[in-house]
Structure 1
Amino acid sequence: MLINCVAYKDGAKLADIPVADISEYIVQPGCFVWVALSDATPEELNEMQEEFGLHPLAVEDARHGHQRPKIEEYGDSLFAVMHLIEPASESANGLNVGEVDVFVGRNYVLSVRNRSKLGFLGVRERCEREPELLRSGAGFVLYALMDAVVDRYFPVIDSLEVELEAIEQRIFTKGAPRANIQQLYELKQRVMVLKHAVAPLLEGASKLHGGRVPQVCAGSQEYFRDVVDHLGRINASIEAMRETIGTAIHVNLSMVTIEENEVMKRLAAWASIFAVCTAFAGIWGMNFEHMPELKWTYGYAGALFLISGTCSYLYYRFRRAGWL
């Protein structure tokens, strides 16, 4: 679906134009066209390939989707793939992974957004409010799109950190370790989703501000350096969270073992107490003829007193030792 198709010249908006007129505008000096598509069909991609002269390999990647984040150079044009991470729903803890494919040339920008409800209208408005920067052309638009994508990672990682802190506070709650381990593994999976979005993009974006910079990004290196800095901070936070989750999992496993040992100690203590009762009852339950206690008037009461006294003493000792 076509979101918008706008022509710009010298940093100012000329007009919203039909797709069929794109080829007429991109040949004008100082003019470039910015097109935004959402869940584009193969026919729409073929039409854009014809209008902009896109590289067929890049178009094939955009058509198939589900690409690894990357930035590839095709002659004098760039093809960037970025993951859009957003909560699956207000009630679920999962993450929805969308994708935006950006084709950037000297006089055009084409963004294709897939499997995501959040658009980039705010990015276009921001660029149009800064005509002196928009005058830099397609390179600045690529930066603005990348910056918007990266900024959306910060709320996600903040929510993951809040969830991790909540689990950490419940680590030593009695009866909670097993549930905590399940939540930690689910959290670890979401952290890895974010890791797979950030790490490859960090590697690709590093090529846009240092060394041999692609021609379409010339003059915008300092802006891409800012994006790389943000990605570096997010990547460092992800690594710290992964280490904390690993430590929390080990602590929870230790807590499970400790709780199981506590149960075993209680069972062993009660088994010892009942073993004493069984031993006394077994001795006096033997059918020997010459057993003096059997003829004693107070033998039954004495036996009960001895059994209860011994068991009470054992209970006291186990209780003092922390087994009961």
Structure 2
Amino acid sequence: MAMTRVRPGRALFKTRGRPTGVQAPHRGSAVIDWAAYIDGHRASTDTIADAVRLIRDGRLTADGDSAGFVWVGLHEPSAAELTELAEVFGLHPLAVEDAIHAHQRPKLERYDDVHFVVMKTVGYVSSGPGGAEVVETGEIMIFCGPDFVVTVRHGKHGALGPVRRDLEQDPARLALGPAAVLHAVADRVVDGYVGVAEAVMEDIDEVEEAVFSPERTDESRRIYRLKREVIQLKRAVGPLAGPLRHLTGRRFVPAEIKEYLRDVEDHLTRVREQVEAYDELLNPILQAHMTQVTVADNRDMRKISAWGAIFMVPTAIAGIYGMNFDFMPETQWRFGYPMILGVIATACLSLYGGFRRNGWL
């Protein structure tokens, strides 16, 4: 296997005095952490170049393959940082460009002996003055080579520090090589899908209960927002199924890791089915809500029409007797005024009783 040589004096992304593996509160670099792993155990180095040199020059098997690997983790790197790192590991320019600009669909691509995997991360966070929760997405790009793993994260979600700590507590699994890191990252990403899907389901249950409650509320905005968030979640979850399925057939993935990847794929399938069911569930909820709104509007219109009919009686009678004609019946009669008031009251009460019996009032 041809190996990329590192210039001896190179000090790539130096720690600037902080301990290796510890993230500084105010870092001036996109590098979160790096380490060389030999037989599943971490070997701390001063620079990434030293870690690469340790693996490629110092620990080789009889077949010429590396007995360990280097894991570099970055968060939203600049073009200069990632380009410099690409020279060390021999990363393909097209994959590097995708990792810099992000906004990629989940995918799996191969460039010579390096696999490039893109996964979407999701989070369900409060946004806006009303505190409405929305699905925020980020991305994790993984360059997986024979003796290295480079993880590039964009966005606030899907931090990989816990993944690294968990793997370092299981040396036997970490000794399986870069594929173990690839599985651990995929497992964490899919677990994030599960958590967000459960949170969205809770909101859907609340909306459904509000729609069918006796109280009259306007849930149309919330339903449309949930439909938008479900679509956002589908865009992250759905396309990842293909790359996970293809990974289980790659030769660089050990048999033990393939079993774990199939388990992650199974979890992803369940989440994808749940998200599709959410979209189907929101449609009848929206239709039921719109039907209720229409029925409520019709009820209000009936009430308005009924009261309009009642008030039309005194208005009509007053309009007739308000005309200035000399010869009109009852205008000169002593009991004409009380009689007209009685007729108005009787007609209005009769109409009111009829509308009440018909459910209009």
TM-score (normalizing by structure 1) = 0.92
**Counterpart among 124, 142, 164 of residue 102 in structure 1:** 142
More helix as a share of residues = 1
Residue by residue, what CA displacement relative to the aligned partner does 1:170-217 show, whole Å, maximum 9, x if unpaired?
11444413xx110111111111111111111122212122xxx22222
1:198 corresponding residue in structure 2: 237
Counterpart AA for 1:21: D
Query: Is the Cα contact below 8 Å between 2:72 and 2:149 reproduced in 1?
Result: yes
> Contact 2:52 / 2:70 at 8 angstroms: preserved in 1?
no
Q: 1:68 aligns with which of 86, 90, 105?
A: 105
Structure 2 residue 215 is the aligned partner of structure 1 residue 215: no
Return the match for 2:228 from 183, 189, 213.
189
Question: Is the 8 Å Cα contact of residues 76 and 214 (structure 1) preserved in structure 2?
Answer: no
Query: Please, which runs of 5 or more residues in structure 1 have no aligned partner?
Result: none
TM-aligned CA distance change 1:9 to 1:196, over 3 Å: same
Taking the aligned partners of 1:142 and 1:312, their CA distance within structure 2 comes to 80
| Distance of 1:304 and 1:239 partners within structure 2 | 66
2: CA distance, partners of 1:23 / 1:51: 8
What residue identity is the alignment partner of 1:216? F
Residue in structure 2 matched with residue 236 of structure 1 by the alignment: 273
* Letter in structure 1 aligned against 2:184: A
CA RMSD of aligned residues (A): 1.9
- Structure 2 match to 1:114: 154
Identify which of 183, 207, 217 aligns with 1:176. 217
Distance, in Å, in 1 between the alignment partners of 2:294 and 2:157 is 45
* Letter paired with 1:25: L
- Alpha-carbon distance in structure 2 between the residues aligned to 1:10 and 1:22: 14
Which residue, 292, 306, 310 being the options, matches 2:343?
A: 306
Per the alignment, residue 9 of structure 1 pairs with 38
- Is the Cα–Cα contact under 8 Å of residues 121 and 157 in structure 2 kept in the other structure? no
Alignment of 1:36-47 (within 5 A): 36-47=73-84
- Secondary structure of the structure 1 residue equivalent to 2:252: helix
Asked whether the equivalents of residues 77 and 216 of structure 1 are also in contact (C-alpha less than 8 Å), the reply is no
Equivalent in the alignment of 2:68: 31
Query: Do the aligned partners of residues 12 and 23 (structure 1) sit closer, same or farther apart at CA in structure 2, a change above 3 Å counting?
Result: closer
Q: Output the CA distance in 1 between the equivalents of 2:233 and 2:227.
A: 10
Map residues 136-155 of structure 1 onto 2, 5 A cutoff. Answer: 136-155=176-195
Alpha-carbon distance in 1 for matches of 2:157, 2:173: 28
Unaligned runs of 5+ in 2: 1-29, 61-65
Distance 1:228 1:96 in 2: 22
Note if 1:125 corresponds to 2:165. yes
The structure with higher relative contact order (CA 8 Å, sep 6+) is 1
Q: What is the aligned length? A: 319
Give the distance between the partners of 1:143 and 1:102, measured in 2 at CA: 11
2:334 paired with 1:297: yes
2:123 touches 2:196 (CA, 8 Å); kept in 1?
Answer: yes
Partner Cα distance (1:269, 1:317) in 2: 10
* 8 A Cα contact 1:184 1:245, kept in partner: yes
Paired residue secondary structure (1:216): coil
Query: 3-state SS of the aligned residue for 2:272?
Result: helix
1:22·1:51 contact (CA, 8 Å) conserved in 2? no
CA 1:118–1:139: 2 relative to 1, 3 Å: closer
